[in-house]
Each structure stands twice: as structure tokens, then as C-alpha cells.
Structure 1
């Protein structure tokens, strides 16, 4: 039969189809469906719904039994029922097999050709496969038929053809053709419009991308096509001018989308691995770099909910770097190539209902670095894909650094893991790659490569987020020949934990361990940091500003590497002792910072790594322990222990500072310091390194929080000093951490560490105890609008100081001195008194008294001196003192008096009088300072200021009646008096009955201004007179100021207020007499104090009323008397 040529111009050609066993049983059903378009139209009364009646499916699957199909999942499948798979396996596939049998057998071809010829259209049949001249496959028939496959390219750089579409009602899209070398595969063709699967994407040629799978566009059923695989990267070569670098791997094609009602998305195509770099040659001595791995193909989505998305493909590994060229003696002449980065995982489809059931791909491993004089670096791990609905993909591990002679390659960084959705847990980030080893050589120092950094953990919105990947270990220096100086590489840092919003953030990854070497760390022979453990990764934090979840724990620092011993054959370093063996342990890595969610909860910092040990023979020095990680909301991490050495022990790491917490359950103390390493007592020969024989000092304890809102729970303890053997002294104990700001219970300072013991040397000194925490501040008094201010609360007691550490013991030397006891914490400040309000009469009410300051905390116990068997015992530590008493709270200010109400003006009568202004309230007393047994009493609180008096109300204006008589203006009211200042607080009782300083005084309240008199009404007519102006009110008196209790001076007395202005007399018209002006108000007196207030100015008298020439003018009012200044209080 003739095959359809698509719009791509494909040529006709044979198409091989494998016959499906049993397909003949479906022919009747297929013909019944396939010939339906040619049949007579149905009767008019037939329902449209009959088109979608699939009851005939039971007859087709089991003609002998036409009973309804049993869809019970247990009976049919034996597992969870999947309608999409059921339709595909038991309905579509048999029908499709029957269709292909019909299309490809001679009898069917005869009938189909007749139908196509009669219609003049290509209705039934498969599309033609693509060719070189027409690469794309042809489209299937308008009714039935598959699309043709795309042409497979055998030409470099030429893409494969796309598969043809099944444009009819029923059929599969054609498969895409494979690409030539370096070219992409063709895309799969689309499935039919009613039922049909998308075609498979074509495979990419070497380094080419795979074609996308075809979409299933059928409205009833269809699975998306699988994405084509990406081609593998071409291996690097220097031939024909090549660079030697490996080619990138091809990306996998994306899976096609599933059908509308039923159908699964296609799986993403497999990614191609990166090509390896070429080995160096005599012309190109350096190895080539590895190629980048391809990215996995993304999964196709299901169009609706009756199916699932496909599977995202994993990324492909990066290619390895090539080794450098070696000469005839086997010695490297160049450097190794770098490893290629790993490919990223393919996604699981777009977010939403169309992504249900898919899974994202994982990132791939980075390639390893090649070997050489300097090893190549490892490639970065690929990123895991984010999940559209579910768990994210895992990040790939970093590639290992290549081995070198002088320097090992750096390990690759681990890949970041993809994000998870909803309550799904996140996944851990990829680990960093290991650093490459370095052998060193005669006259050449060998330095191991550093480990790679771990990748960040995957985010989870509401579940447990993924941990950060661990840092890679540092590479080792060669240790076979102890005459060669080699040094370990540093461990890589741990990755950061995944963030969260309302879930639990991921923990930070642990730092990698430092590498070993003959020397180990630098030890004064090589600058820079070597053999050190990596820093722990930070705990995960928030994804939003105010996330309410839980922060992640910081990762632990890696341990330092060890020195196996380098022999100074010629005495270059140890000039008096050629042949001395020398080694140094690496320092431990610092712990990671604890994650903090400011709207939720934080977590602890990571512990510091232990210092590495020196060799057990010769002269060796232990590495220092790493510091504990800090925490913003949580406990600080513990310091790592110092490493042991034959000569010098390493110092312990300091504990991390703790953060504050608002929870009574959450610990928020400082971390403990690490213990010092031991010394075997070997005395170092003369050298430029200035080595001394002693045990390592203990690390200091971390401080607790000083945040005023989030409280700490105690300082960390200092670490113990390391023991000294033979004639070495013991190490000093670490100091205890400060208690910080106390919460509901006072915080203790951390205890000092014990001094290290000794044999013939002196015992170590005990550490100093930490200062106790500051007491919590008293609560502030309330300030009601209509009541007196309430008193402030008492401040909390300061925390107890930490105990001093015990001095180290000794056999024949002297015992160590005990540590000094920690000082008690300062008492908390008393709460301030509340401001006074105003009563119903408009008078200000008194302010509240300030709270008493908290008592100072008790000191710790001094450390006992170390004992000695035959030497002198050590002295006990110095005693501590009580903490300073807390400052008393300030008294609250008195309330201000309310201004009086103005009198009402009248148009025909006497003006109304104003009401008096309210008096100001008295200020509150300052709180007494806190007491201290052996320390200083707290300062008294400041006095509260007196409230200001309210202004007097103005008199209303008089009116004129109907007869022309003017009425008097109203009288202005007096201003309110200012309130008295409260007394300053007394200082707290301190050592020997000595009080702390008293509080400061403050000012009395200012008097209120007197009200103005109202104007008199105008008079009209000869027998009448105008009204007189109203008298003004007196100004209020100033309040009394309070003195300072500790120093001369104090608050000023309040100033007296000015009297009001008298009202003007009314004017006479028509020969009426003018009114008299009102009398001005007297000024208020100033308040008494060491600095008294000024008296107020008397108010001016009112102006006289005028008259016509025949009338009599009024008299002006008298001015008020000035107020007197306040008396001086000594």
C-alpha cells in the first residue's frame, strides 16, 4: 500500500512491524471501530452518549462471557488498581496491535488502499519513515495509523529526524531518529487525538542531546514518549590539533506529556557521561580536562489527575581529568587535568496537579582529577532537581582531587540537593570530594590537596530539611620516606543545612578531616594552614523573614590530621641535633553556626574538631582543638580537644557562645571549652621554632546570651589543662564563660577548668570562673489613662559566679595555683514606675514608684591549689566578690492636669465663668538600689517628675440685652498647680554597710496659666452702660523639685505660671457709659528646690471701654501681682 508522506516531505518506504501474538482476536473489534466512519448514520433517536459507551470492551476482552467487566483491583491486578495502566494494557495495546495487523497484512492493505483512493485522502495507514533526503517521519492517516520514525543520522553534526505525528483518532507517534556524532536526536512524534502514545525521542550522537519524547495529545488516553538518551561525551585527544579536553555529555530529552483523561507523562531521557580528558604527551605534557556530564531529561507531566508524571532522569557523571605525561623514568612532567562537573538531575514536571506521582532526578558525581606534578581538581557534583510534588533529587558528590608530587588536587564541591514540597523531607546535599595525595620528592615538599566543600541540603517547606553534605577529607602527604617534608591537606567545609519555613531545618554537614603527612601541619616549615579539619556547615535557617520552624544544628568541625615524623637529617632546623624527628598535628576545624529562625526556634552550634596528634617519637606538637560553633538561639558548641605531642600538647578549642531563648525548655548556654592535649615531656633541641615542653591549655567556655529579649541559661565550663609528663608543666585550665543575661532563674558563670597535672614539672593553674549572669530587669509599671501609675517590679538577682578551677597536681614539682572565683552577676534593674493618668475632675494622678534593683549575685568558690608529693602545694585561688546591685527603677511621672473649660459667651446676658485647671500629679519615688554582700550596692533610681498644672479656663464674653444694657464678662479661672517631683531612690547596701550612689532628682511640675477674663458687653443709649470686663484667673504655682541623693544639685522647682489678662470693658454707644476693664490675674509662685522655680508674671488689666463724646468712658483694669520665686531648699 502507499504510505503517507508528511508535510516534512518524507519519501515512501517500507516499514517493518512485528506482529503481536493473539492480535487476530482484536481484528473484529478494530474493524467495528475503524469502519464506523463509513457506515450509515445512526437513527435520529440515538443518544449522543452512546458514542462514549464502552460496554463493548467486556465482549472484546472475553467474547465467551459478556458479563460486566470486574474492576476489582484485588481480582484483576493483585495490587493497587491503576486505571491508566489497565486501559493501556487491556484496551489500547490490543486495539493498537490489531490496527497494525490490519494495516500491514495484504488483505487490510487492499481494503485500506480502496478507502484512501475513494476518499482522495490518506485516512488509514502509517506514516513513512524518514530518509536522508526527508529526515522527518511522515504523519499517520487521518483516521488511524502511526507516525513514521525519524531518520537515523550517520553523518557527523547532522541531527536525527523527528518522528511523524499520528494525526488521526488512533495511533502512536513515530520515534525520533538518532543523531550523528555531536548532533541531537530527533523529537518523538505526537500521539493521536483520541488514543495514542507519543513517540520515543531519538538518541543523541556522541555529545549530542537526546530528542524530546512526543506528547500524547489524545483526549481519552495516551502516554507521553520517553525522552531520548544524550550521547556520551567524546574522549579528549591531542591528535590533529585537539585540546585534549573531553567532550561534554549530551543532555537527556524531556519526556512527553500524557493524555487528557488518562495517561502518564514520559520518563526523561538518560544523560550522557562526560568524556575523559586525554593523558599528556611529550608535546602536551599536561593532562586534558574531563568533560561536563549531561543533564538528565525532565519528566513529562500528566495532563490531568488520572495518571502520573514521569521520572526525571539522573544527571551523568563528569569525565575524569587526564594524567600528566611521564618521562622514561616514570616522573611526571606536567599537571593533571581537572575533572568535569557532574550533570544536574531532570525535573519531575511543572508544579500543580499535572506533576502528581513524578520523581526528580539526582545530580551526578563530578569527575576525578588527573595525576601529575600538581594533581587536577575534582569536578563539582551536579545539582539535584527540585520536586514539583514530593521529595527533591539528591545532589551529586564532588570528584576526588588527583594525586600530585608537589600538590594534590582540590576535591570537588558537592552538589546542592533539590527542594521538597509540603511535608516531604528534604535530602542531604552531596559530599565534597577528597583532596588528592601528594608524594613529595627529594627537595620538593609535598602538600595534600584540600577536601571539597559539601553541598547544601535540600529545602523542605514543612518537613525535615536535608542535612548539608560532609566536607571531603584532605589528601595525605606521602609518608613512605621520612626524609621528605610532606603536609596534609585541609578538610573541606561542611555544607549548609537546608532551610525551612514551618518545619525543621537541616543540620549542617560535618567538616572533613585534615590529611596526614610526615610533618603534618606547617609547623613553621611551610606557611599557611595545613592538615586542618574543615569547618562544620551552618545549620539551616529560614526560607522567609519570620519563619516559625526549628533551626538546624551546626555541623561538627573535622579533626586535624596527624604528623608521622620528618627526619631532619642534616640539622637544617634542629642545628644542634641532626637526625631529630619532627611532626605537628593539624588544628581541628571550627563547629558550624547553629541555625536560627527568628519567628521560631534556633538550635545548637556544632562542636569543634579535635586537634591532630603529633608522632609518638621525636619532637612533636599536638594540634589545637577547633572552636565550638556559636548559636544565635540555642547552645554553643563545645570546643575540640587539643592533640597530644611528645613536646607540646595542643590547646583546647574555645566553646561557642550561646544564644538567647524565650523558652524555659530550650538550653541556651555557652559551650564547654575543649581539654588541652598531653605532653610526653620531651625537651626540644635548639631551633628557630621556639618549642617549649608543656601540656596544652584548656579552652575557654563560651559566653551565654546578653540579649535583652532572649535570655541565656549559663556560661560554658573551661576545659582542663593537658597533663605534662616527665619535666613538662601541666597546661592551664580554661576560663569559664560569662552567664549572660538571666531569664526567670539567675544564670551561673561557667566553672574554670582544672590545671593539668605534672610529674616533675609544675601543675597547671586552674582557670578563672566566669562572671554570673545579670539579673532580669523588673517589669515596668503600667500607665492607665484614668488611674495612678503602678509601681515597677523588682529586678532579678544576679547569677552566681563560676568556681575557679583546681590547680594541677605534681609529684616532685610544685602544685598549680587554684583559679580565681568568678564574680557574681549584677542584679537586674528595677522596673520603672508607670506614668500617672487623670481623674474625672481633670487633676493629674501620681506616678508609680520605681522598682527595687535586684541583689548582686554571690561569687563562685575559689579553686583549691594543687597538691604536690614532694614539692610545694599550690596556693588557693583568689576569692570572688558579690555582683553589683541592680539600679533602682525610675519613678513614674505625675499626670498632667487637664485645662479648664472656657466659660460660655452670651449674646444677651452675663458671660460664663471659666473652670479651674487641674493640678499636676506628683512624681513617683525612685526605686532603691539592689544590695551586694561584698560588692557595690546598686544606684538608686531617678525620681519621677511632677505633672504640669492645667491652664485655667477663659471667661466668656458678656452680651447686650434688648434694652441696650451691656452685661459683664465672665471671670477667668485659676491655672492648676504643678505636681511635686518624687524623691530619688536610695543607693543599695554594699560591702561593709556602704551604700551605692543615690538616684538623681528631677523637676517639679510647671503651674498652669491663669484664664483670661471675658470681655464686657457693649452698652447702647444714654441711660445705659456697657458691661465690665471679667477678672482674670491667677497662674498656678510651680511644683517642688527633688534633690540628688549622691551629688550636689537636683531637680529644679517648677516655674509659676503667668496670670491671665483681664477682660476688656464693653464700649458705650449713643451716650452710654463704657465698661471697666477686668483685673489681671496674679502670677503663680515658683516651686521650692535647690534650684527654685521662677515666679509667674502677673496678668495685665483689661482695657477700658470707650464711649461717645457725651458718654463716660470706663476705667482700665488693674494688673495682677507677680508671683514669688520659690524658696531655696539646702
Structure 2
């Protein structure tokens, strides 16, 4: 019968089914009967029973089924137990794998066995015909005419597989969808040459897997890209299903070889890029894994350059390589914990650059130059980045072709790809009429970056090509080595290692220089070391027929190549998280090449060592790399390379400087104008890294030894030692203040000792020439500054000020390095001069003492409404200032620190005011409390002693004594009560006012040994006397006679002002000034006299009362 149309986009034509399927209402009962013959497999029989039971429930709601609603109503724990599914992607014992292997696959296999059996096909065809729908059956596989696979039945069946394209440039067919209750999507078909793979079909809506994507086809033609892998089909199952895996990308085509035929350029063709891997399909809704991403295709290699021809004597250049494809992204996990997302795939490797073609040659030799090597292809990105491709080697010729550059490694989530190695330079033959220069090595590729793991390593630089050495009449120069690739950086993992520089090639006239080492990388969990410099190439000797180099005509002359400089290591993110205890170091310099053993030759200089990285977190500062050794020569030996400087740490010690390289030897040969024959000097040692507040500085590197002079050659001078790192120059660790906690201040930390200077190198020996001078020892590093003592607090219980912390001692200067031994002459020459030992570093300054804590203020006396006022309490004593630290010893002694100031005494509490008693008499006020005594000053530190002829450090000054506290003010006396004024009697007398309180004494200033004494505190003011009560007015009697007015009472006496505190004494400085006396208290006003009554009706008037006297004023304080 005619099958239904495919659901795949773009396919509307009719296709024929291989099989037919069944109907909804009768499926449950029919399968229970029809599948009985298959019950020999127990697991499958149990699955069919489960399916029959399930379909009985589903059939009645077929037309309204909603996967989202159904997923919410099914209880997975009731079906399979409430177990933790765990990780599923790669674990065969995971719950997802168990579900697939022991439940779904047997169930699916049983359904497929039924569909594909002869009896099943007969029954299914009948059911499909009965309902007029394609209900049970698999989709047909795609063909060339209809590439996409057909869809499965509406109840059961798998989608058909997409057509595997066998036509170049035509994509593979898409897999058919499984539309029913149970079934897998069809696999996508493989793409034809250079074409993409087909996408996998979707799985069924209840249970079913998505189909795998088809593989992309390999490149259609040389130099073209590979096809991309098809995407895996999604699982739309609400209950269980895995996404389909993405298809693999196709390989890129290799570039065509170059040719000069038919007008060709001779250059090799570029390689094609690898195809990208397909994306994995999404998992089912409730349970399942996302599909794995497809593997990326590799890049094609560049084509080789053509060999030169008579018409085109230069060799062709090699072609550039293709880049690797990107790995496919894993399918997502739709929801929940039952399953996992699919695994992303790795990036593809880049292709190798093509080889440069050799030049044309006839019987006489090469007639042209070699071709350049091709550049490598970049690595693709993925979970692990693909490696960058290597550069192609240069071709040989009169002049060699340059090696191709290595390519960048691909970025990776876990691991970055390694950079490709640079290609080797082509060899140079030269000719009788033309000097030959060999090709330089290619630069190494940079390592790929990493997100969470280790970044890629930089590629090694290519070696320089060699010049021909068989004929010393032909001048050839070796090629220079390529620079090493930079290491990849890591976002949250470890950085990669840098690539080493390539070695220089050999030549008759001159060896090539070594390549520079690559720069290391940064990473929070550790960085990479800098790459080592390449070695300089040796020279075998060239006959200088004309004496152009300064030798006598016909003399053999040669010069070794210089060694490459070591690469610096990166920072400061070597340990941002504090998890790394290892800091990358600088790369070592390469050794210089040797000159020829006969004639006049000059050795190459050694390369300098690279700088170490700055430390961070728990990682110390990185060490500098060692300098390379100088090469030997008959006329002049090469100089040793300088050691690399170290770097400072974070909270950890600074690194050590690298050692200088040794100088090369000289045989003492001379010729022509070249008469100053000598051996090479040793390289200078690297400086040590500086210390920090919490860590010691690093030691310096030693100078290299001078080379030995033979014959009449002078020996080489020894290299000077490096300078030691200095202790922290900002501050040592300061003591913690005790102010907030009410305790004594903590002592400041001692400054760190400076790093040790490097030893000087030994002078080279000589025979009949002058021996080499000894190298000077390096200077020691300066000592660190002592920390300041913390300020003292105030004890909340006693009110006493606490002592300030003592300042830390300044660090001693680091020891100077020992001078090397002077070279000795064994023949008629002179011995070398002695070197000087390095000076000790300067001593660090002593830390200042912390200030003493202030005394607490006294408590005010309580005022009373009916009685006398309370006295105020005295202020607390100020704390003692901390002693300063001593200056460190050194070439110049460190200055002593300044002593801490004494704490200020606390102010006395004020006296309380007096009240009025029951009799109406004003009561006396309370006296003010005395001010607290100021704290004693701390002593200044002793200056550090000089150990090398410099001045001693100056002593620090003593601190200032603390000021005395202010005395408390006296309280005010209570006021007297006014007399009564009765209507029919004499006026009452007022009551007396209370006396004012005396002011408290000012506190004494603190003492100081050599500084200024503290100022005495000011005395407290006397309190005012209370006012006397007024007399009451007289009344009138019954006869009209007036009564007398009452007497006013006397006011209370004013309080005396407190005396000022004495100034603090100083044995070697100025005494503190005394505090001023307190102001006197004013006497209280006398009460007014009461008025006598004038009387009425001729009665006798009453007399006025007598006014009270004003109270006497107190005395001012002295």
C-alpha cells in the first residue's frame, strides 16, 4: 500500500514503506495474544505484559494525550524505586544505563521482533488497512531518490535511516522520526565527499532514543573542507529517551603539490579545514542523557612546494595547512536529575604545513633558493582543544627556505591544544660565487587556552637550517633557530609550558643564533615555565681569501652563533587562589656555538636567562633562569650569558637569581689585525627577588667563571655576582591596634634580612697571556623596615590606658657575595686582579613604638534632690608608649625608630550638685575628681651598627609623655528655701544655700627619658555656692497691726578651683609645662529680706526683715 509522506522538511514526494503497522483500539489485546510466541525470553515477556497493561490505559485517551501533563502524573519512584540516579553519561552501572539496558532495550527489541516477523507484518498490514492509518511499522530507509528516512508508525515503529550519500557534494539524508508510543529515530545518513551528514530523527513521545547524526564526508577535492557532521536527533519522550549522538566531521583535503607545469607557480596548495562535529540531541523530558557531540574532522596538510626547474630554479613554497574542526556540543539534559547532558567532543588537530621545495640543481650544484615551508593549521576548539599543526620544513638551495610557523592550539574547556612546532629551516649550499644562508626555523605556535584545566604548551621553535660544510672555500651561514611558542593561559586552571627556542644551524662562516624561548603562561592553579633559549650553531671554518674579516688573506675564519635568550615566565596569576606552591621560573639561556678549531675563530655568546614570575597567593617568587655558556674559539671565547633576575613573592619569599654562564676558552690564535686574543668573560648573576612584609627576599645568582686563555690569550674575567633582594621597603608587619579591644597594642614585626649577594666568578687562567680578573661579589640586599607597634587601648574595667606595642627591629642588610678567585698565569703572563667582596646591604629602619592608650574619663558624681552631691571619680592613667625598634646592621646602619607617645590621662569626673533637705537648708555639692596621670613615653630605638665602613645609624628619638587629664569641675551647692509669707503672722526666714564643691586636681604629665615631658592637666573649676532663701513677707493681725517680714538667708560659699597638674619630667629633654589652676567658684547670692506688713486702720506697721549675705567666693587653683 502507499505509505504516508515523510515529516522531514523539504520532502513532499511519496515513498514506499517496507512494512506496515497497526491500530489503536485493538493493539493492547492483540499484542497480548500475538506476542505470546516470543515469550521464551523472560525479560521481553515481562516487558510486553507491561506494555499491554499500559496501552489499556492509554488507548482511551489517545486523542487528548499531552506529554507534559502525562509526565506530571506518572510516579517514577513508584515504577522504579526512589533511588538516586547518579551520573549517567559514561557509567555503565548508572540508573540511566540500567533503565536503557534492562527495560527499554528488551522492550524495544520485542516490539521490533513483532514488527519484522512475517506474522507481525501480516497482522500489522491488516490493522493499518482497517484504520486507514500507518499505525504499526518502521519507516523505510532513505534512497538516492528519496534521501530522508520515512517516519515510524503512529503507535509503534522506528524512523528509517537516512540515505548514505555516494554522490560527491550531496548531503546525507535525514533520519525519519518515530511518531508513536515507542521507537527510535532513524540515523542520519553519511554525507558524500565534502558534504554534510544528515540529522538524526526524533524518538517517540513516550519512550525512544533520538537517531545519531550522519558523518560528514571527507573533502571532495584536495584543499577543500570536510563536511560537517549531522546533528543528533532529539528525544521528545516524556518518560525515557537519550538524545542521538552528533555525527563526526569529515577530514579536510590535503593541499595539492606545487608544480611549474602549465604555468604553475610551484607553490603547494593550502589544506582544507576539517568539518565540525554535529551537536548531540536533547534528552527526554523526565529521564535520559543528552547525546554526545560529534568528533571534529582533522585539517588537511599543506601541499609540498615543487622542486625548482631550469626555467624556475627556486623551489616552490609549501602550502598552508587547514585548521581542525570544532568538536560537537553535547546535547542538553532537559530537566531533573535522572540523566546527564551529553559529552562535548574534542577539537580536531590542525594539519601540517607543506614542505618547501628544493631548488633546481645540476651537476654543478643548486642554481636557486629553497622554498619556504607552509604554516601549520590551527587546532579546533572542544572539550580538549586540538593541537596546532607543525610548520613545514624549508627547502634546500643556495639559500635555504625558512621553516613554516607552527599553528595555535585550539581552546579547550578542560585542556588546551598544544601549539605546533616550527618547521626546520632549509639547508644552504652556497656556491663559488654566492654566499649561502640557511633558512631560519619557524616560530612555535601558541598553546591553546583552557577554561578549567591545563592550558596547552607552546610549540618548540624550529631549528635553523645548516649551511654546507664540505667545502671551506664556500661561505655558508647557519639559519637562526625559531622562537618558542608562548604557552596558553588558563582561566581557572593551570597554565601551559612555553616552547623552547630552536637551535641555530651550522655553517662554514657563521653558525646561526639560537631562538628565544617562549614566554610562560599564567594560571590560578599554577603557571608555566619560560622556554629555554636554543643553542647557537657551530661554525666549521671558511677560507677568507681576501682578508675581508681582518685576518691575513687565505686564513680560515669562523664565528659560532649566539645562544638564544631564555623566555620569561608569566605572572602574577600563578596562584590567585592560593592553591599553588610552585611559581614558574625563567627559561635558561642557550649555549653559544663553538668556532672552528683551526684558523681564527670566535665563540658565540651565551644567551641570557629569563626572568622569573612574580609570586601570588602561596607561591613564592620565581627563580631567574641560568645564563648560557659562551662558545670556545681560537681567537676569542664567547661571553657567558647573564643570569635571569628573580621576582618578588606575594606573602612568600622572593625567588633566587639565576647563575651567569661561564665564558668560553680561547686558544690564543692571532692573524692580521686581529691581535687582541682573549677568552670570554663570565656572565653576571641575576638579582634576587625582593621580599614582602611577610616574607624574606631571595638570594642572588653567582657570576660565571671566565674562560681559560691558552697560548698568549688573556683569560676571561669572572662575572660579577648579582645583588641580593631587598627586604620589604614599605613596612614590616605593623602590630595590631588594641584600641577596639581595650588591650595593649601588639608589637610590630621585625624587618626581613636582605638577600645574600651572589659570589663573583673566578677569573680564567692563562699561559703566556694575562689571566682573568676575579669577579666582584654582589651586594647584599637592604634590610626591611621594622613594623610600627600597635596603639594601646583602654581597659573597660579599670579605665587604665594600656601600653602601646613595641616597634619591630629593622632587618639586617644581606651579606655581600664573596669575590671570585683571580686567574693564574702558568707561563710568562700576569696573574689576574683580585675582585672585591660585595658590600653588606644597608640596615633597615627600626619601627616606631605604638602610642599608649588614653585613660578613661572619671565618672561624674550623682546629684541629689535632698542631700549632698556625690564626688566625681578620678580619671584613668594613660598607657605607657611603646619602645621603638632598633635599626638593623648593615653597610649603612639603619636609623632607630621613634618611641611611642604616652597616653593622655583621663579627665576627672564632675562633682554632683547638692539638694535641699527636709528643713529647707541647701546641701553641699560634691567635689570634682582628679585628672588621670599621663602615660610615660616610649624609648627611641638604637641606630644600627655599620659593618662596612659606612656611618652607624642614628638613634631614634624618645616619645613625648602623655598629657595629664583635666580635673573635674565641682558641683553646684543646693539652693536655700524661701521663707513662708502667712496671712496673719510674721514672715518666715529663708534657709541657707549649700556650699559649692571644690574642683579636681589636674593630672601630672607623663615622663620621658629623652623627649619632652607631658603637659600637666588643667585643674577643675570650683562649683558655685547655692543661693540663700528669701525672707517671707509679714501678715496682719485682727486689729490691723502688721507683722514683721522674715530675714533672708546667707548664700553658700563657692568651691575652690583645683590645682593644675605638674608637667612631666625629662632626663634628657624638656620638662613638660604645668597645667593651669582651675577657676574659683562664685559664692551664692544672699536671700532678699522679707517685707513687713504696713498694717490697716491705723494699726502698727511691721518691720522689714534683714537681707542675707552673699556667700564667699572660693580660691582659684594654683
Indicate whether the TM-score tops 0.5: yes
1:517 to 1:1027, Cα distance in 2 relative to 1, 3 A: farther
Answer with 1017-1026 or 1072-1081: which moved more: 1072-1081
Looking at structure 2, the residues matched to 979 and 39 of structure 1 have their Cα atoms a distance apart, in angstroms, of: 104
Instruction: Please give the alpha-carbon distance, in whole angstroms, between the structure 2 residues aligned to 1:515 and 1:414.
Output: 25
Query: Which stretch shows the higher mean deviation, 617-626 or 84-93?
Result: 84-93
Is 1:225–2:212 an aligned residue pair? yes
Aligned length: 981
Does the residue aligned with 1:1054 lie in a helix, a strand or coil?
coil
Paired residue for 1:697? 682
Are 1:145 and 2:129 counterparts?
Answer: no
- Which residue pairs with 2:252 in the alignment? 273
SS in 2 for 1:116: helix
**1:610 Cα deviation from its structure 2 partner:** 1.8
Of 210, 218, 224, the residue aligned with 2:197 is 210
Query: Structure 1 182/582 Cα, relative in aligned 2: closer, same or farther at 3 Å?
Result: farther
Is 2:131 the partner of 1:119? yes
Work out whether residues 1081 and 1119 of structure 1, in 8 Å CA contact, stay in contact via their aligned partners in 2.
no
Q: Does 1:331 align with 2:313?
A: yes
- The question of whether the paired residues in 1 share the 8 Å contact of 2:249 and 2:278 is answered with no
Counterpart of 1:637?
A: 625
| Aligned match for 2:39, one of 46, 53, 56 | 56
**For the Cα contact (< 8 Å) 2:840–2:948, is it kept in 1?**
no
- Alpha-carbon RMSD: 4.9
Question: Could you tell me whether the CA contact under 8 Å between 1:533 and 1:561 is conserved in 2?
Answer: no
Distance 1:148 1:856 in 2: 86
> How far 1:904 moved relative to its partner?
1.6
Choose which of 12, 15, 32 in structure 1 pairs with 2:14: 12
Structure having the higher Rg: 2
Deviation, structure 1 residue 207: 4.5
Alignment match of 2:1003 (pick from 1025, 1029, 1036) = 1036
Does the 8 Å CA contact 2:719/2:760 hold for their aligned counterparts? no
Q: In structure 1, what is the Cα distance between the partners aligned to 2:669 and 2:410?
A: 48
Query: Distance between the aligned counterparts of 2:631 and 2:784, measured in 1?
Result: 42
Secondary structure at the aligned position of 2:41 is classed as helix
Alignment partner, residue 585 of structure 2: 605
Aligned to 1:312: 294
Counterpart in 2 of 1:974? 930
The correspondence of residues 45-124 of structure 1 with structure 2, limited to 5 A, is: 56=39, 58=41, 92=108, 96=112, 99-100=115-116, 102=118, 114-121=126-133, 123=134
Contact 1:383 1:418 in 2 (8 A): no
Kindly indicate whether residue 974 of structure 2 is the aligned counterpart of residue 1017 of structure 1.
Answer: yes
The answer as to whether partners of 2:202 and 2:233 remain within 8 angstroms in 1 is yes
Q: Distance in 2 between matches of 1:283 and 1:667?
A: 64
For residue 188 of structure 2, the aligned residue among 186, 198, 201 is: 201
- Partner Cα distance (1:438, 1:1115) in 2: 120
Structure 1 residue 1029: Cα displacement: 3.4
How far off is 1:900 after superposition?
0.8
Cα distance between partner residues in 2 of 1:988 and 1:623: 44
Deviation at 1:444, TM superposition (A): 8.7
**Residue matched to 2:859:** 901
CA gap 1:338/1:354 in 2 versus in 1, 3 angstroms: same
Q: 2:561 aligns with which of 574, 582, 585?
A: 585
2:1034 is aligned with 1:1052? no
SS at match of 1:354: coil
TM-score, normalised relative to structure 2: 0.75
Q: State the Cα distance separating 1:1011 from its structure 2 match.
A: 1.8
Q: What SS does the corresponding residue of 1:419 show, helix, strand or coil?
A: strand
**Cross-structure match for 1:383:** 379
- SS in structure 1 at match of 2:413: coil
| Cα distance change, pair 52–783 in 1 and its aligned pair in 2 (3 A) | farther
Of the candidates 940, 944, 954, which is equivalent to residue 910 of structure 2?
954
- Given that 1:648 and 1:696 are in contact with CA atoms closer than 8 Å, whether structure 2 keeps it comes out as no
> Which one is further off, 666-675 or 276-285?
276-285
Aligned counterparts of 1:837 and 1:828: Cα–Cα separation in 2: 28
1:950 CA drift (Å): 0.9
Q: Give deviations 1:481-538, integer Å, cap 9, x for gaps.
A: 875665524423234266485x8665444333345556557xxxxxxxx743231341
Q: 1:739 to 1:612 in 2, by over 3 A?
A: closer
**Distance in 2, Cα, partners of 1:583 & 1:1094:** 83
After TM superposition, the structure 1 stretch with the greater mean CA deviation from structure 2, 975-984 or 828-837, is 828-837
2:346 is aligned to 360
Shift, 1:1028, TM fit? 3.8
Distance 1:381 1:255, change over 3 A: farther
Query: Please, which moves more after superposition, 977-986 or 476-485?
Result: 476-485
Equivalent pair of 2:707/2:764 in contact (CA under 8 Å): no
Q: CA deviation at 1:590?
A: 0.8
Residue equivalent to 2:283: 303
The answer as to 2:718 corresponding to 1:733 is yes
Corresponding residue number in structure 2 for 1:471: 460
Deviation per CA, 1:84-134, whole angstroms, max 9, x where unpaired?
5788997756864763565xxxx987765554343122x2xxxxxxxxxxx
1:318/1:956 CA distance change after superposition, 3 Å? farther
Which residue of the partner structure matches residue 387 of structure 2?
395
Matches of 2:684 and 2:908, distance apart in 1: 70
Correspondence 1:978-997 to 2 at 5 A: 978-990=934-946, 996-997=953-954
Q: Is the Cα–Cα contact under 8 Å of residues 436 and 448 in structure 1 kept in the other structure?
A: yes
Kept after mapping to 2: 8 A contact 1:489/1:516: no
**Aligned counterpart in structure 2 of residue 867 of structure 1, from 817, 820, 824:** 824
Which of residues 952, 955, 959 in structure 2 aligns to 1:1002?
959
Q: Which residue of 1 aligns with 2:410?
A: 416
Deviates most, 1025-1034 or 654-663: 654-663
For 1:293, the equivalent position in structure 2 comes to 273
TM-score, normalising length: structure 1 = 0.74
Aligned-residue offset at 1:312: 3.3
Moved more, 504-513 or 848-857: 848-857
Query: Please, which of 161, 165, 190 is the counterpart of residue 151 of structure 2?
Result: 165
Alpha-carbon distance in structure 2 between the residues aligned to 1:566 and 1:185: 65
**Is the contact between residue 888 and residue 940 of structure 1 (CA under 8 Å) also seen in structure 2?**
yes
- Structure-1 separation of matches of 2:213 and 2:163: 10
Query: Deviation digits for residues 933-986 of structure 1, max 9, x if unmatched?
Result: xx5555434222111111111222333445544333322222222222123233
Shift of 1:813: 2.6
